[in-house]
Amino acid sequence: MIICGIDEAGRGPLAGPVVIAAVIMKPGSAIEGVKDSKKLSQKSRESLFPLILADSLFRHVEVLDNITIDESNILKAVMKGMENCINAVEYEGVKFMIDGNYFKLDGGREKEINYETIIKGDDKIYEISCASIIAKVTRDRIMEEYDNEFPQYGFKSNKGYGTKKHIEAIQEHGTCPIHRKTFLKNILIRIPLFKDED
């Protein structure tokens, strides 16, 4: 049986995309230091990233932007990304190991897929840990690029998460085109939305 690990990064931030990664590792792969990306330093993740790519048989990454998230919702966006990752796999006899406790598709299409959801799977299943690192490093790099475009929000350091400084920057400058409007409705009041696009 071939195992394909699937995980996401960026479910909770106020800005930027959510990134879903799927990876099938070579038989016998056992890269030292691989574990849940959240338990690794950025330096460690960056060091492991090319090793994982080199030791993988297959990998696929889906990037769903803030507009997609706002148009549906974050859960549907993640499910869409996971389904796209699964559909990209061309190997036969694959079991998809998905981090978390939820995987459902419209019309019950998940019933046609050989999958298992695993709570804290990114800390228990090697392939999910690898997917976790790929997703996290990919998203961090995207947010660092956005930091060059929108330096006032500190995306290089906060990666779009709702830190105190990030929220203060939104209150001062309004939002920018990569902010998730639906994530701001209930926590920030009386700020101009998409000020730059008026």
DSSP the chain: -EEEEEEEE-SS-SBS-EEEEEEEEPTT---TT---GGGS-HHHHHHHHHHHHHTEEEEEEEEE-HHHHHHS-HHHHHHHHHHHHHHH---SSEEEEEESS----GGGGGGGS-EEEETTGGGT-HHHHHHHHHHHHHHHHHHHHHHHH-GGG-HHHHTT---HHHHHHHHHH---TTB-HHHHTTT--S--TTGGG-
pLDDT at 36: 85
Its pTM stands at: 0.92
pLDDT value at residue 188:
61
Model pLDDT, residue 143: 98
Contact 6, 131 (CB under 8 A): yes
Question: Between 194 and 43, where is the model more confident?
Answer: 43
Which tops the pLDDT comparison, 190 or 45? Answer: 45
pLDDT given at position 198: 33
Do you know the residue count of the chain? 198
What is the pLDDT averaged over residues 52-63?
98
Residue 28 scores a pLDDT above 80 = yes
* Per-residue confidence band for 110, with pLDDT thresholds at 50, 70 and 90: very high
Note the pLDDT tens digit of each residue in 132-169. 999 999 999 999 999 999 999 999 999 999 999 999 99
Q: What percent of the chain has pLDDT over 90?
A: 88
pLDDT digit string (tens) for 168-181? 999 889 899 999 99
pLDDT at 187: 58
pLDDT > 70: percent of the chain: 93
Question: In this model, does residue 21 exceed pLDDT 60?
Answer: yes
Closest CA to 45 of 9, 81, 98: 9
